Amino acid sequence: MGILVQKFGGTSVADAEKIMAAARRAILAQRQGRQVVMVVSAMGHTTDHLVDLARQITSDPPAREMDMLLSTGEQVSVALMAMAIHSLGHKAISFTGGQLGIRTDSMHTKARIRSISTDRIRAALEEGCIVIAAGFQGVSDTADITTLGRGGSDTTAVALAAALHAEQCEIYTDVDGVYTTDPRLVPEARRMTRIGYDEMLELATAGAGVMHNRSIEFAKRFSVPVHVRSSFSDSEGTVISWLPESRAVPVCGAALIQKEARLTVRGVPDRPGAAAAIFTRLAGRNIPTDMIVQNVATDGRADISFTVFQEELPAALRIVEAVGKELGVEEVGYDENVAKASVVGLGMARQAGVAEKLFASLAEKGINILMITTSEIKISVLVDRGQGVEALRTAHAAFRLDQPPPPTPDESVPEANGKNDRERIIGRLHGMEDLVIESIALDETQGRVTIGDIPDRPGLAAKLFQQVSRAGVNVDMIVQSVGRDGKAAMSFTMPQESYEAALETARRFSREIGAAAPSGERQVAKLSVSGTGLKSHVSVAARAFRALAEAGVNVEMISTSEVRLNVVVRGDEGRRAAETLRREFQEELI
């Protein structure tokens, strides 16, 4: 008999009536022949209220006691849910995280799951019980209660589904699926019928608040199909799996992080380890860095820009200023009024001109782009916060995301992608949430062109990439960063065969706009580290930086995403860089 995990979020268990409705759903699934494990969140806004209560007592509550407090919310829900099922004449038993055997590390308020022992759950299922599991919590080696971070019940649900080899994990929530973007910001947003794990991962961290990101990482690591549906309607919902809705269109969704902040460190001495020091220290404090862009200035000093969530800015600034002093950097600047808009899609990898189209649509609306990073399946632009929502709407319209995409002919292929590897991966993992590196690839077929001083005006990126594409050049990676004197620095890569055409186009463009002559290299090396958990394990970029620095390899371009870290280095340093990264990530490489 197959196992089904059903997770009910806070709004789905907000009152007695809703608890009864959820109980009926579970009973129905059991009647249809499945063993059912329910994972429940705290009722309604309980967790918020508990956080609030704690703040009324102290502004700095001990993390261990926070976990003690917050875990009570879920304990209430599971007990009531078990009573609800009993009252309907069925067998049920509730368990806390500790009783379930969810072992975590001891990072209170953001613990990671190490292991799950399923004996007790299985025994209860065999007895015909519906098992009701408290979401969001676990227990550390010292038997202290831990929580997995806000929204963590999703992660509990998918982790249980993985550990139990469940057929599926259903996530019941107050929206009826995953949308092409946040419908509150863009009313034309459309519900997707399906979405690929990588797409969902990129969208989730890019600002689509549907699910806890770590839960999608779990789902991908263990190939658990996740079905997001509404508790309040019978809408079909959205299935998250290896299979995207379509590969025929380049973009499947768009997202916005409204509260980002940019930091720029100017004049970082160009010696091994300088950039690495900054990111290592940030990672040490668990501060995730997002769009990282570095350009090597002419005087041998580098400028590095990156973004963090706005709430992390004070802490990030403190760290960066301290490291900056030690390193002897020229200046640390920041802008706390920025937003990041991203478009995501597995189909992007197969189509040219996607970035150009995005830039052109933004230019048409007079939206200035402050930074750009691209990876295989995501393009992100940083804009002024005041223009964030408009940028999102513009991107959504430009790629016609309100329209259902044509189905892809090869619908059944991707399933194979993960299934076979699953057991092997599980066997190699020490902790269920460990970083997994799938491959470290070296691409020596590309060239790079850089224009160092593009005036910071709307429309120039659009114009440049339009000219580049007219010259028949297929651009791969693009990074735009904050240059000197309010100028922007733009670098992009392309197949070597098109290097001359790209350079010539960039020359003409620079002359036209009054920028200095571009520089370039006919052959660069692009290294791609692919895996799962690349961002939630905040130290990945820092480790790559450090390892390359120690090997004396200069990083020319970098872009980070949820599933990939791309680094461009000089052509003759590619092999060494690849070896260095393989050594650095040898433990995590499977």
- Site residues for ligand ASP per CB under 6 A: 9-10, 41-42, 47, 73, 135-136, 150-154
Residue 150, contacted partner among ligand ASP, Mg ion, none, CB below 5-8 A by kind: ligand ASP
The smaller minimum CB distance to ligand ASP, of residues 2 and 209, is found at 209
- SS3 of 20-58: the string is HHHHHHHHHHHHCCCEEEEEECCCCCHHHHHHHHHHHHC
Interface stretch with Mg ion, choices 9-17, 279-287, 386-394, 422-430 (CB under 5 A) = 9-17
Least CB distance to ligand ASP at residue 509 (A)? 49
**Ramachandran category for residue 44: left, alpha or beta (phi over 0 → left; psi -120 to 50 → alpha):** left
**41 near Mg ion, rule: CB under 5 A:** yes
Please name which of 442, 463, 391 lies closest in space to residue 574, comparing C-alpha atoms: 442
Least CB distance to Mg ion at residue 51 (A)? 12
Least CB distance to Mg ion at residue 54 (A)? 17
How many other C-beta atoms can be found within 10 angstroms of the C-beta atom of residue 555? 23
Distance CA 282, CA 286 (A): 6
Distance CA 201, CA 182 (A): 15
The smaller minimum CB distance to Mg ion, of residues 173 and 532, is found at 173
Residue 310, contacted partner among ligand ASP, Mg ion, none, CB below 5-8 A by kind: none
The smaller minimum CB distance to ligand ASP, of residues 152 and 345, is found at 152
Least CB distance to Mg ion at residue 10 (A)? 4
Query: Considering CB under 5 A, how many residues would be counted as binding Mg ion?
Result: 2
Least CB distance to ligand ASP at residue 222 (A)? 19
Interface stretch with Mg ion, choices 37-45, 325-333, 364-372, 508-516 (CB under 5 A) = 37-45
Looking only at residues 343 through 372 of this chain, which bind Mg ion when binding is defined by CB under 5 A?
Answer: none
Long-range interactions of 481-484: CB distance < 8 A, separation 24+: 481/293, 481/294, 481/295, 481/303, 481/305, 481/371, 482/262, 482/264, 482/293, 482/303, 482/305, 482/370, 482/371, 483/295, 483/303, 483/452, 483/453, 483/454, 484/266, 484/297, 484/303, 484/453
Q: In degrees rounded to 5, what are phi and psi of residue 343? A: -115, 145
Q: Which helix (H) or strand (E) holds 177?
A: none
Residue 73, contacted partner among ligand ASP, Mg ion, none, CB below 5-8 A by kind: ligand ASP
Helix axes 388-398, 354-364, angle to 10 degrees: 130
The smaller minimum CB distance to ligand ASP, of residues 69 and 541, is found at 69
Which positions ≥6 away from 393 have C-beta within 8 Å? 185, 186
Least CB distance to ligand ASP at residue 44 (A)? 9
Least CB distance to Mg ion at residue 151 (A)? 6
Distance CA 359, CA 12 (A): 40
The smaller minimum CB distance to ligand ASP, of residues 47 and 498, is found at 47
Residue 86, contacted partner among Mg ion, ligand ASP, none, CB below 5-8 A by kind: none
Which positions ≥6 away from 53 have C-beta within 8 Å? 69
The smaller minimum CB distance to ligand ASP, of residues 151 and 574, is found at 151
The smaller minimum CB distance to ligand ASP, of residues 174 and 326, is found at 174
Interface stretch with Mg ion, choices 35-43, 67-75, 406-414, 579-587 (CB under 5 A) = 35-43
Binding-site member from 4, 10, 379, 498 for Mg ion (CB under 5 A): 10
As given in the structure block, the two tokens for residue 283 are 């990672």
Residue 135, contacted partner among Mg ion, ligand ASP, none, CB below 5-8 A by kind: ligand ASP
Residue 345, contacted partner among Mg ion, ligand ASP, none, CB below 5-8 A by kind: none
The smaller minimum CB distance to Mg ion, of residues 30 and 155, is found at 155
Least CB distance to ligand ASP at residue 197 (A)? 20
The smaller minimum CB distance to ligand ASP, of residues 67 and 476, is found at 67
Which positions ≥6 away from 52 have C-beta within 8 Å? none
Distance CA 120, CA 490 (A): 57
**Amino acid at site 70:** L
The smaller minimum CB distance to ligand ASP, of residues 212 and 448, is found at 212
Interface stretch with Mg ion, choices 4-12, 85-93, 212-220, 226-234 (CB under 5 A) = 4-12
The smaller minimum CB distance to ligand ASP, of residues 44 and 483, is found at 44
Least CB distance to Mg ion at residue 9 (A)? 5
DSSP 329-390: -SEEEEEEEEEEEEEE-GGGGG-SSHHHHHHHHHHHTTPPP-EEEEETTEEEEEEEGGGHHH
Residue 136, contacted partner among Mg ion, ligand ASP, none, CB below 5-8 A by kind: ligand ASP
Least CB distance to ligand ASP at residue 22 (A)? 14
Least CB distance to ligand ASP at residue 207 (A)? 17
Q: Please give the C-alpha separations between residue 458 and each of 218, 300, 306, in angstroms, as whole numbers.
A: 40, 29, 21
User: Which residue is closest to Mg ion by CB?
Assistant: 10
Please name which of 27, 24, 135 lies closest in space to residue 77, comparing C-alpha atoms: 135
Q: Which helix (H) or strand (E) holds 127?
A: none
**CA 22 remoteness from chain centre:** 30
Residue 481, contacted partner among Mg ion, ligand ASP, none, CB below 5-8 A by kind: none
Q: Which helix (H) or strand (E) holds 135?
A: none
The smaller minimum CB distance to ligand ASP, of residues 35 and 75, is found at 75
Least CB distance to Mg ion at residue 45 (A)? 9
Contact 69, 62 (CB under 8 A): no
Interface positions with Mg ion (CB under 5 A)? 10, 41
